Amino acid sequence: MCERKRKGTRERQKQIIDISLKVIDKEGIQGLTLKRIASEIGISDVALLRHFSSKEEILEALAQKVFFENVVTEEEGWSEDVLSSLRSLTKRQFEAFEQCPQATAVLFQEEIFREYPKIREWFIRRRSERHAKIVNMVLKGQSTGRISPSVDPSAFATIYMGAIRMTVMEWRDSGYVWSLVDRSGPLVDMLLRVLR
Protein backbone atom coordinates (compact mmCIF):
# COMPACT_ATOMS: atom_id res chain seq x y z
CA MET A 1 0.00 0.00 0.00
CA CYS A 2 1.38 3.39 -0.99
CA GLU A 3 1.19 6.21 1.50
CA ARG A 4 0.80 9.75 0.39
CA LYS A 5 3.32 11.95 2.15
CA ARG A 6 1.62 14.84 3.94
CA LYS A 7 3.09 18.27 3.55
CA GLY A 8 4.24 20.12 6.63
CA THR A 9 2.16 23.04 7.86
CA ARG A 10 4.43 25.77 6.52
CA GLU A 11 4.84 24.08 3.17
CA ARG A 12 1.07 23.58 2.88
CA GLN A 13 0.36 27.18 3.94
CA LYS A 14 2.74 28.44 1.27
CA GLN A 15 1.00 26.25 -1.29
CA ILE A 16 -2.41 27.57 -0.21
CA ILE A 17 -1.21 31.17 -0.51
CA ASP A 18 0.34 30.54 -3.94
CA ILE A 19 -2.83 28.85 -5.25
CA SER A 20 -4.97 31.67 -3.83
CA LEU A 21 -2.83 34.24 -5.60
CA LYS A 22 -3.20 32.38 -8.91
CA VAL A 23 -6.98 32.17 -8.52
CA ILE A 24 -7.25 35.89 -7.73
CA ASP A 25 -5.05 36.67 -10.72
CA LYS A 26 -7.25 34.64 -13.09
CA GLU A 27 -10.73 35.20 -11.67
CA GLY A 28 -10.58 38.00 -9.14
CA ILE A 29 -11.43 37.82 -5.47
CA GLN A 30 -14.94 36.53 -6.22
CA GLY A 31 -13.44 33.31 -7.62
CA LEU A 32 -11.55 32.58 -4.42
CA THR A 33 -13.46 30.15 -2.23
CA LEU A 34 -12.24 27.59 0.29
CA LYS A 35 -13.74 24.85 -1.88
CA ARG A 36 -11.86 26.14 -4.95
CA ILE A 37 -8.54 26.35 -3.10
CA ALA A 38 -8.96 22.84 -1.66
CA SER A 39 -9.88 21.48 -5.09
CA GLU A 40 -6.86 23.10 -6.77
CA ILE A 41 -4.54 21.57 -4.17
CA GLY A 42 -6.29 18.21 -4.11
CA ILE A 43 -7.29 18.19 -0.45
CA SER A 44 -10.61 18.38 1.36
CA ASP A 45 -12.13 21.58 2.70
CA VAL A 46 -11.61 20.19 6.21
CA ALA A 47 -7.90 19.58 5.55
CA LEU A 48 -7.60 23.16 4.30
CA LEU A 49 -9.07 24.42 7.58
CA ARG A 50 -6.24 22.75 9.50
CA HIS A 51 -3.93 25.37 8.04
CA PHE A 52 -6.14 28.47 7.92
CA SER A 53 -9.36 28.98 9.84
CA SER A 54 -11.07 31.12 7.17
CA LYS A 55 -10.82 32.74 3.76
CA GLU A 56 -10.00 36.00 5.54
CA GLU A 57 -7.04 34.39 7.29
CA ILE A 58 -5.77 33.12 3.92
CA LEU A 59 -6.14 36.60 2.44
CA GLU A 60 -4.29 38.13 5.40
CA ALA A 61 -1.38 35.72 4.88
CA LEU A 62 -1.42 36.44 1.15
CA ALA A 63 -1.45 40.20 1.76
CA GLN A 64 1.45 39.90 4.22
CA LYS A 65 3.45 38.07 1.58
CA VAL A 66 2.68 40.52 -1.22
CA PHE A 67 2.81 43.78 0.75
CA PHE A 68 5.67 43.13 3.16
CA GLU A 69 7.83 40.16 2.10
CA ASN A 70 10.23 40.22 -0.83
CA VAL A 71 9.50 43.91 -1.33
CA VAL A 72 11.86 45.93 -3.46
CA THR A 73 13.12 48.75 -1.28
CA GLU A 74 14.50 52.10 -2.22
CA GLU A 75 17.57 51.56 -0.05
CA GLU A 76 18.76 48.45 -1.92
CA GLY A 77 19.85 50.39 -4.98
CA TRP A 78 20.53 53.72 -3.32
CA SER A 79 23.43 55.77 -4.56
CA GLU A 80 24.32 59.41 -4.14
CA ASP A 81 22.92 59.95 -7.61
CA VAL A 82 19.19 60.03 -6.90
CA LEU A 83 18.33 59.85 -10.60
CA SER A 84 20.27 56.58 -10.94
CA SER A 85 18.59 55.34 -7.77
CA LEU A 86 15.11 56.01 -9.19
CA ARG A 87 16.07 54.24 -12.42
CA SER A 88 17.39 51.25 -10.44
CA LEU A 89 14.31 51.16 -8.21
CA THR A 90 11.96 51.05 -11.19
CA LYS A 91 13.93 48.36 -12.98
CA ARG A 92 14.19 46.17 -9.87
CA GLN A 93 10.47 46.60 -9.15
CA PHE A 94 9.56 45.59 -12.70
CA GLU A 95 11.92 42.58 -12.47
CA ALA A 96 10.15 41.51 -9.27
CA PHE A 97 6.75 41.81 -10.98
CA GLU A 98 7.98 39.73 -13.92
CA GLN A 99 9.12 37.02 -11.48
CA CYS A 100 5.69 36.91 -9.80
CA PRO A 101 3.10 38.52 -12.09
CA GLN A 102 0.23 37.21 -9.97
CA ALA A 103 1.26 39.56 -7.16
CA THR A 104 0.12 42.48 -9.30
CA ALA A 105 -3.45 41.21 -8.99
CA VAL A 106 -3.21 42.15 -5.33
CA LEU A 107 -0.78 45.08 -5.30
CA PHE A 108 -2.79 47.22 -7.69
CA GLN A 109 -6.33 46.19 -6.78
CA GLU A 110 -7.27 48.00 -3.59
CA GLU A 111 -10.99 47.50 -4.22
CA ILE A 112 -10.75 43.73 -3.75
CA PHE A 113 -10.08 44.27 -0.05
CA ARG A 114 -12.98 46.60 0.76
CA GLU A 115 -14.68 43.91 2.83
CA TYR A 116 -11.44 43.16 4.71
CA PRO A 117 -10.57 46.33 6.69
CA LYS A 118 -7.33 44.98 8.16
CA ILE A 119 -5.96 44.10 4.72
CA ARG A 120 -7.16 47.38 3.24
CA GLU A 121 -5.31 49.18 6.04
CA TRP A 122 -2.11 47.31 5.13
CA PHE A 123 -2.63 48.22 1.47
CA ILE A 124 -3.00 51.91 2.33
CA ARG A 125 0.01 51.77 4.67
CA ARG A 126 2.21 50.19 2.01
CA ARG A 127 1.13 52.76 -0.58
CA SER A 128 1.72 55.64 1.86
CA GLU A 129 5.16 54.31 2.81
CA ARG A 130 6.15 54.03 -0.84
CA HIS A 131 4.89 57.56 -1.54
CA ALA A 132 6.86 58.95 1.42
CA LYS A 133 10.05 57.21 0.28
CA ILE A 134 9.77 58.63 -3.23
CA VAL A 135 9.16 62.09 -1.72
CA ASN A 136 12.32 61.66 0.38
CA MET A 137 14.33 60.59 -2.66
CA VAL A 138 13.24 63.77 -4.47
CA LEU A 139 14.08 65.92 -1.44
CA LYS A 140 17.55 64.34 -1.26
CA GLY A 141 18.02 65.02 -4.95
CA GLN A 142 17.00 68.63 -4.44
CA SER A 143 19.42 69.01 -1.53
CA THR A 144 22.30 67.83 -3.74
CA GLY A 145 21.26 69.95 -6.70
CA ARG A 146 20.45 66.95 -8.93
CA ILE A 147 16.72 67.75 -8.95
CA SER A 148 15.20 71.13 -9.65
CA PRO A 149 13.89 72.96 -6.57
CA SER A 150 10.76 73.80 -8.58
CA VAL A 151 9.64 70.15 -8.51
CA ASP A 152 6.92 69.40 -5.96
CA PRO A 153 8.15 66.16 -4.30
CA SER A 154 4.67 64.92 -3.38
CA ALA A 155 3.25 65.63 -6.84
CA PHE A 156 6.19 63.83 -8.46
CA ALA A 157 5.73 60.80 -6.17
CA THR A 158 2.06 60.63 -7.19
CA ILE A 159 2.94 60.90 -10.90
CA TYR A 160 5.70 58.30 -10.53
CA MET A 161 3.47 55.82 -8.70
CA GLY A 162 0.63 56.41 -11.15
CA ALA A 163 2.91 55.78 -14.13
CA ILE A 164 4.17 52.55 -12.57
CA ARG A 165 0.62 51.40 -11.82
CA MET A 166 -0.65 52.22 -15.32
CA THR A 167 2.27 50.43 -16.97
CA VAL A 168 1.71 47.34 -14.83
CA MET A 169 -2.05 47.35 -15.48
CA GLU A 170 -1.44 47.54 -19.25
CA TRP A 171 1.00 44.64 -18.90
CA ARG A 172 -1.60 42.62 -16.98
CA ASP A 173 -4.27 43.42 -19.57
CA SER A 174 -1.93 42.22 -22.35
CA GLY A 175 -1.59 38.84 -20.65
CA TYR A 176 2.01 39.64 -19.68
CA VAL A 177 3.15 39.34 -23.31
CA TRP A 178 5.76 42.09 -23.24
CA SER A 179 8.59 42.86 -20.86
CA LEU A 180 8.08 45.38 -18.08
CA VAL A 181 11.83 45.72 -17.72
CA ASP A 182 12.13 46.71 -21.38
CA ARG A 183 9.53 49.42 -20.80
CA SER A 184 11.22 50.70 -17.65
CA GLY A 185 13.95 52.59 -19.52
CA PRO A 186 11.75 54.86 -21.66
CA LEU A 187 9.28 55.33 -18.80
CA VAL A 188 11.97 56.40 -16.35
CA ASP A 189 13.65 58.61 -18.95
CA MET A 190 10.40 60.52 -19.34
CA LEU A 191 9.82 60.75 -15.57
CA LEU A 192 13.36 61.91 -14.88
CA ARG A 193 13.02 64.75 -17.40
CA VAL A 194 10.33 66.15 -15.09
CA LEU A 195 12.89 66.33 -12.27
CA ARG A 196 15.56 68.34 -14.08
Distance CA 162, CA 167 (A): 8
Distance CA 70, CA 99 (A): 11
Distance CA 160, CA 127 (A): 12
Comparing 184 with 75, the larger pLDDT belongs to: 184
| pLDDT tens column, 4-43 | 455 678 899 999 999 999 999 998 888 999 999 999 999 9
Q: 100 to each of 32, 132, 136, how far by Cα in Å? A: 19, 25, 28
Distance CA 120, CA 117 (A): 5
Task: Report residue 144's pLDDT band, with 50, 70 and 90 as the boundaries.
Answer: very high
Compute, in degrees rounded to 10, the torsion defined by CA atoms 140, 166, 111, 41.
-110
| pLDDT tens column, 160-191 | 999 999 999 999 999 999 999 999 899 999 99
User: How buried is residue 126: exposed, middle or buried, by Cβ count under 10 Å (0-12/13-18/19+)?
Assistant: middle
Average pLDDT over residues 66-83: 68
Phi/psi-derived region of residue 6, left when phi > 0, alpha when psi is between -120 and 50, beta in every other case: beta
| pLDDT tens column, 34-70 | 999 999 999 998 889 999 999 999 999 998 888 877 6
Comparing 108 with 156, the larger pLDDT belongs to: 156
Domains and CATH numbers, the chain: 9-65 (1.10.10.60), 72-195 (1.10.357.10)
